[in-house]
C-alpha cells in the first residue's frame, strides 16, 4: 500500500508541476524579466488578480486535496497577498458526486448491506463535497442524513500530501522570507487538518461535545448522531431541514427578524471560541439554515477545532481593547498571541486599526485619510512580520465568514456592539479589568521594591568600574554555525583571489599558459564553493524574544526552579 501511494505521488508530482508551471515561470520573470538576465519587474494588483484566477483554476483542476488547500490558503494573509485571498475565498468545496455503486461499497464495508441497515435509502446525494457526500435515508422510522467518505479518497490525499511536502522547499524560493516562515509549517498543519476532516469518528465526537455545550439553548439546533450506524467512514445523523441562512427573501416571507438572527449567530460563535474552546470552523451559508421558528441549524462539523486557554484569554482582551478603541492594547494583544512581531511599525499598524474600527462602526472617514493609510501600508506591509498560529488562522477564517453572513442578514449589523454586550453580560469585561488592575498593582509593588534594591547594586557596580576591576563575560550562541560559514566564505575568497592573481602573474611574466590554466582549473572548485556558500542562508534570523508571553513563560520556569 505504501509503495502504491509513493508511486502515485511521483505521478502526481509531475502533474502538479506541469499545472503550476505557468505561475512558476511568471514568478521567475518577476525576479529577472528574461529568466536568466534582466531587471526585476513590478507586479501590479491587476496582475496579482490574474495570477490568482490561474491559481484558482489550477487548484480546481487538481482535485479534492488542492481544493482544500486553497480553502486553507484563503485564511492565511500571512502567506498570500490580499488579491489572492479575495479570489481564493470564493473557492467552493463542491465537486461532482461519486457514482452510487462506489458509495454503496463504502457503506457495505463499514456497516453491512444497505437494505438491511437502513429502512430506505435515496441514492441521489443531496450535497457533494471534495471529501464526502451526503444522502437522505430512513432509519428506524426516522429520516436521517448519511455522510459517506468519498471512495478512494484516502490514497489520493496521502499521495498529494507527499507532493506538497516535496514542493514546499521549492515554493519557499519564490516568496519573501517573512512568508516563508509561515509556509514552513503549512504542510504539517494541512495534513493534520485534512486527515481530521476525513475521520468521521472524530466529527461525531465533536458534534456530541458542541451539542452538549449548547444543551438547553433553544436558539440553535445541531443534528444528533445515530451511533449504531456511525463509523470512521460513515456518519449518520438526524436530518433537520431548514431555509438557507442567506436566502433573505424566504426569511422575510416567514416573518423572521434578520438582525436577531445575525446577533444570535455571532453570540453562538463567541461562546464556542471564548467560553467552550471548541468550535464549528466552516460557517459558510451552505452549512447554516434557519427553521420556521427562527432556530439556527448547524451542519457539517468536519472542519472543527479547539482553542487553547491562552488564545481564549487573548481574544477576550482583543475584543475589550477594540470596544474601548485602545489601539496600544490591541497591538499588545496581537504581539502576545504571536501574530505581530514587536518590531513592526506600531504607528502604521495603529493607523490601520483605527481605520478598521471606524469602518466596522460605520463611521464616516475622510477619503484623504483612507488614501494616506493605504499608502503607508503598501510601502511597509511586506516588512511586517505577521504570523498566524494554526488555531488563530481558523478563528480568523470563522470571524470573516460569520461577518459575511451577518452583513447579508443585516447591512448595518454592529459586530463590536454585539461582542461588547456579550462580554459584559458574561462578566468577561469586569474580570479582565480586575486582572489588569491586579497586574498593574503587582508592577507597582515590583517598582517600589526596585527603588530600594537597585541603588545599592548600582553603587557596587560603579565602585567596581572605578577600581578598573570590571569583568564582562560574553558567550556567543551559534547554534546555526554562522561563524563557521563566514570563516569558510573568507577562506574561499582568499583562495580564489590568490589563484587568479597567481595565474595572471605567471602568464604575464613567464608566458607559461599551461601552468596558468592549471592554477585556474584548481581555482574553479573554490569559485563554486564560494557561490554556493552565498546561496545558503546564514541562519541569522530575527526572532521576537521579549513578548509578554515569553516573559511569563520564563517567570514560570524560574518559579518552578
Q: Are 18 and 172 in contact (CB under 8 A)?
A: no
Confidence of residue 121 (pLDDT cuts 50, 70, 90): very high
Number of Cβ atoms within 10 Å of the Cβ of 67: 22
What is the domain partition of the chain in residue ranges?
A: 1-94+155-195, 482-535
Residue 272 host element (H or E): none
503 versus 256: the higher-pLDDT residue is: 256
366-384 pLDDT per residue, tens:
544 444 444 444 444 444 4
Give the Cα separation of 191 and 214 in Å (integer). 30
Detail the DSSP E strand segments found in 199-275. Answer: 220-221, 234-238, 243-244
Please tell me the distance from the alpha carbon of residue 23 to that of residue 28, in angstroms, as a whole number. 9
What share of the chain in percent tops pLDDT 90? 24
CA-based nearest residue to 55, from 82, 13, 24, 10 = 24
Instruction: Look up the pTM and report it.
Output: 0.67
- End-to-end, the C-alpha distance of the chain in Å comes to 49
| Residues in CB range of 135: below 8 A, 6 or more apart | 103, 121, 122, 123, 124, 125, 126, 145, 146, 148
How many CA atoms lie less than 13 Å away from 116 in the CB half-sphere? 6
Angle between helices 186-198 and 153-171 (to 10 degrees): 170
Q: At 250, is the pLDDT very low, low, confident or very high (cuts 50, 70, 90)?
A: very high
The pLDDT of residue 334: 79
Our measurement of the distance from residue 144's CA atom to the centroid of its chain's CA atoms, rounded to an integer in Å, reads 34
Question: Is residue 182 within 8 Å of residue 136, measured between CB atoms?
Answer: no
Pairwise CA distance, residues 388 & 397, whole Å: 11
Give dist(CA 448, CA 201) in Å, integer.
Answer: 56
pLDDT band for 465, please (50, 70, 90 cuts): low
pLDDT(512) > 80: no
Cβ atoms of 196 and 188 within 8 Å: the answer is: no
Mean of per-residue pLDDT scores for the chain? 77
pLDDT tens digits for range 300-356: 898 888 888 888 888 888 888 877 778 888 888 878 877 776 776 777 777 777 776
CA dihedral of 46, 48, 49, 55, whole degrees rounded to 10: 150
Q: For 254-267, what is the mean pLDDT? A: 94
Q: What is the pLDDT of residue 546?
A: 38
Q: What is the pLDDT of residue 551?
A: 44
Count Cα neighbours of 357 within 13 Å in the Cβ-side half-sphere: 18
pLDDT of residue 114: 94
Concatenated DSSP letters of 75-102:
T-TTTS-HHHHHHHTT-----PPPPHHH
Residue that wins the pLDDT comparison between 453 and 120:
120
Amino acid at each position: 500500500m505504501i509503495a502504491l501511494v509513493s508511486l502515485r505521488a511521483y505521478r502526481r508530482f509531475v502533474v502538479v508541476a506541469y499545472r503550476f508551471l505557468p505561475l512558476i515561470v511568471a514568478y521567475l520573470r518577476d525576479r529577472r524579466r528574461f529568466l536568466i538576465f534582466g531587471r526585476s519587474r513590478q507586479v501590479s494588483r491587476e496582475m496579482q488578480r490574474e495570477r490568482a484566477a490561474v491559481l484558482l483554476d489550477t487548484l480546481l483542476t487538481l482535485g479534492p486535496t488542492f481544493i482544500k488547500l486553497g480553502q486553507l490558503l484563503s485564511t492565511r494573509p500571512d502567506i498570500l497577498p490580499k488579491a489572492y485571498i479575495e479570489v481564493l475565498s470564493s473557492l467552493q468545496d463542491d465537486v461532482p458526486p461519486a457514482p452510487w455503486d462506489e458509495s454503496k461499497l463504502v457503506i457495505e464495508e463499514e456497516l453491512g448491506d444497505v437494505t438491511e441497515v437502513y429502512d430506505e435509502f435515496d441514492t441521489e446525494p443531496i450535497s457533494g463535497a471534495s471529501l464526502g457526500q451526503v444522502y437522505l435515508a430512513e432509519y428506524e422510522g426516522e429520516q436521517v442524513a448519511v455522510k459517506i467518505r468519498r471512495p478512494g479518497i484516502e490514497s489520493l490525499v496521502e499521495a498529494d500530501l507527499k507532493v506538497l511536502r516535496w514542493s514546499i522547499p521549492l515554493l519557499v524560493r519564490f516568496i519573501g522570507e517573512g512568508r516563508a516562515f509561515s509556509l514552513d509549517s503549512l504542510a504539517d498543519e494541512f495534513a493534520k487538518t485534512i486527515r481530521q476532516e476525513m475521520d468521521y469518528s472524530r466529527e461525531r465526537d465533536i458534534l456530541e461535545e458542541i451539542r452538549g455545550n449548547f444543551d438547553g439553548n433553544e436558539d440553535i439546533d445541531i443534528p444528533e448522531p445515530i451511533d449504531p450506524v456511525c463509523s470512521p467512514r460513515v456518519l449518520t445523523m438526524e436530518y433537520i431541514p431548514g431555509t438557507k441562512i442567506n436566502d433573505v427573501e424566504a426569511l422575510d416571507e416567514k416573518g423572521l427578524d434578520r438582525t436577531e438572527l445575525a446577533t444570535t449567530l455571532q453570540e453562538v460563535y463567541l461562546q464556542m471560541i471564548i467560553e467552550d474552546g471548541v468550535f464549528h470552523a466552516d460557517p459558510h451559508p451552505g452549512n447554516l439554515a434557519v427553521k420556521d421558528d427562527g432556530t439556527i441549524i448547524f451542519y457539517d462539523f468536519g472542519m472543527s477545532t479547539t482553542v487553547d486557554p491562552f488564545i481564549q484569554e487573548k481574544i477576550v482582551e482583543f475584543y475589550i481593547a477594540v470596544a474601548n478603541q485602545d489601539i496600544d492594547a490591541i497591538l499588545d494583544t496581537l504581539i502576545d498571541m504571536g501574530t505581530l512581531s514587536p518590531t513592526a511599525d506600531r504607528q502604521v499598524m495603529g493607523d490601520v486599526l483605527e481605520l478598521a474600527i471606524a469602518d466596522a462602526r460605520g463611521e464616516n472617514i475622510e477619503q484623504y485619510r483612507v488614501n494616506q493609510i493605504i499608502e503607508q501600508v503598501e510601502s511597509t506591509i511586506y516588512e511586517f512580520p505577521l504570523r498566524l498560529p494554526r488555531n488563530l488562522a481558523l478563528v480568523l477564517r470563522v470571524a470573516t465568514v460569520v461577518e459575511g453572513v451577518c452583513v447579508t442578514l443585516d447591512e448595518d449589523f454592529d459586530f463590536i456592539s454585539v461582542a461588547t454586550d456579550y462580554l459584559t453580560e458574561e462578566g468577561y469585561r469586569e474580570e479582565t479589568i480586575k486582572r489588569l488592575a491586579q497586574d498593574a498593582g503587582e508592577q507597582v509593588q515590583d517598582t517600589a521594591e526596585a527603588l530600594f534594591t537597585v541603588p545599592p547594586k548600582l553603587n557596587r557596580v560603579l565602585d567596581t568600574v572605578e577600581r578598573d576591576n570590571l569583568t564582562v563575560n560574553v558567550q556567543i550562541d551559534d547554534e546555526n554555525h554562522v561563524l563557521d560559514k563566514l570563516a569558510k566564505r573568507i577562506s574561499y575568497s582568499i583562495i580564489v583571489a590568490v589563484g587568479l592573481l597567481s595565474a595572471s602573474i605567471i602568464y604575464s611574466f613567464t608566458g607559461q599558459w599551461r601552468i596558468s590554466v592549471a592554477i585556474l582549473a584548481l581555482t574553479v572548485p573554490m569559485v563554486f564553493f564560494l557561490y554556493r556558500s552565498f546561496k545558503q542562508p546564514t541562519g541569522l534570523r530575527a526572532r521576537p524574544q521579549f513578548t509578554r508571553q515569553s516573559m511569563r513563560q520564563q517567570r514560570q520556569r524560574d518559579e518552578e526552579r
